[in-house]
A = this chain, B = another copy of it.
């Protein structure tokens, strides 16, 4: 995926660790969501407001490749990129970066656009525009 990436940082919470002594692998899915919603917010798309208008964007596919562990209290950076949205779906790619610029994980998600009854619908025009890879 090309285009600028959006950056957001998060500190690993104690509750996110498991008895292996590092962040549980399921937490990365929440971090990707954080990266994606943070990017949307920065581009002027409020997901809360979309939902109030009956537009939802559930994840339809998820892929994570884990490279290294993230530990409690470490600051982790989520780099999010978006691919040019199609009319009813959009793809995001993520890199989770740990201390010392170490790559902890790569991930990708596909999202669909649905209405309140779960039927696919077109992504609203202003959201499609905001999600262009080359957007600010």
Pair B26/A15 contact, Cβ less than 8 Å: yes
Pair B15/A17 contact, Cβ less than 8 Å: no
Kindly list chain B residues whose C-beta atoms are within 8 Å of the C-beta of A47: 14, 72-73
Q: Is A21 an interface residue (CB 8 A)?
A: yes
Closest Cβ of chain B to A134, distance in Å, is: 25
Question: In the complex, what distance in Å separates the CA atom of A60 from the CA atom of B67?
Answer: 7
16 A-B residue pairings within 8 Å (CB atoms): A13-B30, A13-B34, A14-B24, A14-B33, A15-B30, A20-B51, A26-B26, A26-B29, A26-B30, A47-B72, A47-B73, A48-B71, A61-B64, A61-B65, A61-B66, A62-B62
What is the size, in residues, of chain A's interface with B at 8 Å between Cβ atoms? 37
What sequence of 0s and 1s flags, for each residue 27-55 of chain A, a beta carbon within 8 Å of any chain B beta carbon?
00110011001000100001110010000
Pair B37/A15 contact, Cβ less than 8 Å: no
Enumerate the 9 nearest inter-chain pairs by beta-carbon distance, A residue then B residue, closest first: A26-B29, A17-B19, A25-B59, A62-B64, A15-B30, A19-B21, A63-B63, A17-B18, A60-B66
Identify which of B13, B30, B66, B73 contacts A59 (C-beta below 8 A).
Answer: B66
Pair A37/B73 contact, Cβ less than 8 Å: yes
Q: Besides A15-B26, A41-B73, A47-B72, 13 other CB < 8 A contacts? A: A13-B34, A14-B18, A14-B37, A15-B30, A18-B19, A20-B51, A47-B73, A48-B71, A48-B73, A58-B66, A60-B65, A61-B63, A62-B63
